[in-house]
């Protein structure tokens, strides 16, 4: 017969879960059986659940290695800085070393990044870049194909072969060769992100963006669709971002560069970076395949279109 009961209460999760151990003893004090009970604080339990759910809803960018192309200015610089702030090891590349160094100097820890100068229109140099990065930093698992170029000649009637080829090489050939060179590391890890910074011109080709630039960005979109269908089974997410007008140095290459008033209504580089960071931080089970983003306030582009069509402007 049980004649005595002893109780021991412990808190296994303070404020959330409490447990009670009950031991049953006979007349001689010898333990014969024990039971355990637990009860929960509903409010604390809901709070703990929300915290854990929030953690599961985002992807930690720490301990990852990212390469951002065209990171010396504009959107590329903004993305590189935001990634560095998130704890990612960020590698940057571009043609001008001084601009890349300026980007690194804006990192929380400039020594944590590394810059590479490269001409991405040169396939051999691009492949060598990938080899150097793999040797220096290991496998890249976030690739931001941001480098872009647009010619001053926008008209399909007036653009020449050399300018057409230059636009295509920067916007399509470079990203294709670089992505191909870095994919083996992502496939080995069964995880990775490839993000292409395209343009609304890739969705809606137009004279102001130019014939060559519109065609190049449309081609980049098609490439990303095919790439995604091939590599998603390896845990690699492919995302294409289509920004509208963004106040960056590439606008200076237009037949009629926008003035300060026009630029004031445009999106900024950090706006596009925010979209990229959101896509990267989603749970890995979710992929933003495509996303277009434009300025809230429209502007009159009639003068820009006229300049793009005017042969005398070229």
DSSP string, 236-279: EEEEEEEE--B-SGGGGGSSS---HHHHHTSB-HHHHHHHHHHH
Q: How do beta strands 114-117 and 89-94 pair?
A: parallel
Q: How do beta strands 142-145 and 65-69 pair?
A: parallel
Tokens 């060559």, located at residue: 212
Same domain? For 7 and 130 the reply is: no
Report yes or no: 12 and 18 within 8 Å, Cβ to Cβ. yes
Is 136 inside a domain boundary?
yes
The last residue of one of the domains, among 29, 49, 69, is: 49
Same domain? For 270 and 196 the reply is: yes
Same domain? For 97 and 226 the reply is: yes
pLDDT at 263: 87
Same domain? For 44 and 131 the reply is: no
Tens-digit pLDDT profile for residues 208-221? 889 999 999 999 99
pLDDT at 34: 57
* CA distance linking residue 158 with residue 263, whole number of Å: 27
Same domain? For 215 and 73 the reply is: yes
Same domain? For 280 and 182 the reply is: yes
Is 55 inside a domain boundary?
no
pLDDT at 260: 86
Tokens 């990852």, located at residue: 64
Is 45 inside a domain boundary?
yes
Same domain? For 133 and 226 the reply is: yes
* CA distance linking residue 161 with residue 267, whole number of Å: 32
Same domain? For 84 and 229 the reply is: yes
Same domain? For 214 and 138 the reply is: yes
What is the total count of domains within the chain? Answer: 2
Same domain? For 77 and 212 the reply is: yes
Cross-strand pairs, 242: 292
Is 26 inside a domain boundary?
yes
CATH code assigned at 127 = 3.40.50.720
Cross-strand pairs, 4: 25
Domain region containing 276: 61-313
Same domain? For 72 and 188 the reply is: yes
Residue 201's SS3 state is: helix
If you write DSSP's letter for every residue of 82-102 in order, what string do you get? HHHHTT-EEEEEES-HHHHHH
Tens-digit pLDDT profile for residues 139-197? 999 999 999 988 888 889 999 999 999 999 999 999 999 999 999 999 999 999 999 99
With CA atoms as reference, report the closest residue to 253 among 217, 294, 212, 282: 212
Question: Annotated catalytic sites, by residue?
Answer: 213
Tell me the H-state helices in 72-210: 74-85, 97-104, 123-137, 161-168, 174-189
Tens-digit pLDDT profile for residues 89-147? 999 999 999 999 999 999 998 778 999 999 999 999 999 999 999 999 999 999 999 99
User: Is the pLDDT at 269 greater than 90, yes or no?
Assistant: yes
């Amino acid at each position: 017969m049980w004649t005595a009961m002893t109780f021991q209460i412990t808190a296994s999760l303070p404020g959330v879960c409490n447990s009670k151990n009950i031991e049953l003893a006979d007349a001689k004090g010898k333990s014969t059986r024990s039971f355990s009970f637990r009860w929960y604080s509903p409010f604390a339990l809901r709070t703990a659940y929300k915290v854990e759910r929030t953690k599961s809803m985002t992807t930690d960018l720490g301990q990852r290695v990212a390469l951002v192309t065209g990171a010396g200015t504009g959107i590329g610089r903004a993305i590189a800085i935001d990634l560095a702030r998130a704890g990612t090891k960020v590698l940057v590349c571009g043609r001008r070393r001084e601009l890349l160094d300026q980007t690194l100097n804006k990192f929380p820890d400039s020594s944590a990044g590394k810059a590479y100068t490269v001409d991405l229109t040169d396939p051999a140099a691009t492949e060598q870049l990938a080899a150097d990065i793999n040797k220096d930093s290991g496998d890249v698992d976030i690739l931001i194909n941001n480098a872009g170029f647009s010619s001053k000649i926008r008209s399909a009637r007036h653009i020449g072969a050399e300018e057409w080829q230059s636009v295509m090489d920067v916007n399509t050939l470079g990203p294709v060769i670089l992505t191909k060179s870095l994919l083996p590391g992502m496939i080995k890890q069964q995880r990775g992100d490839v993000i292409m910074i395209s343009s609304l011109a890739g969705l809606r080709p137009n004279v102001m963006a130019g014939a060559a630039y519109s065609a190049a960005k449309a081609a980049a979109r098609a490439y990303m669709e095919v790439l995604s269908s091939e590599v998603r089974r390896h845990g690699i997410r492919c995302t294409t971002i289509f920004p509208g007008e963004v106040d960056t140095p590439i606008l200076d290459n237009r037949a009629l560069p926008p003035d300060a008033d026009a630029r004031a209504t445009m999106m900024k580089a950090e706006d596009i970076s925010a979209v990229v960071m959101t896509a990267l931080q989603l749970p890995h089970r979710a992929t933003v395949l495509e996303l277009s983003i434009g300025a809230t306030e429209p502007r009159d582009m009639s003068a820009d279109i006229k300049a793009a069509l005017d042969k005398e402007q070229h």
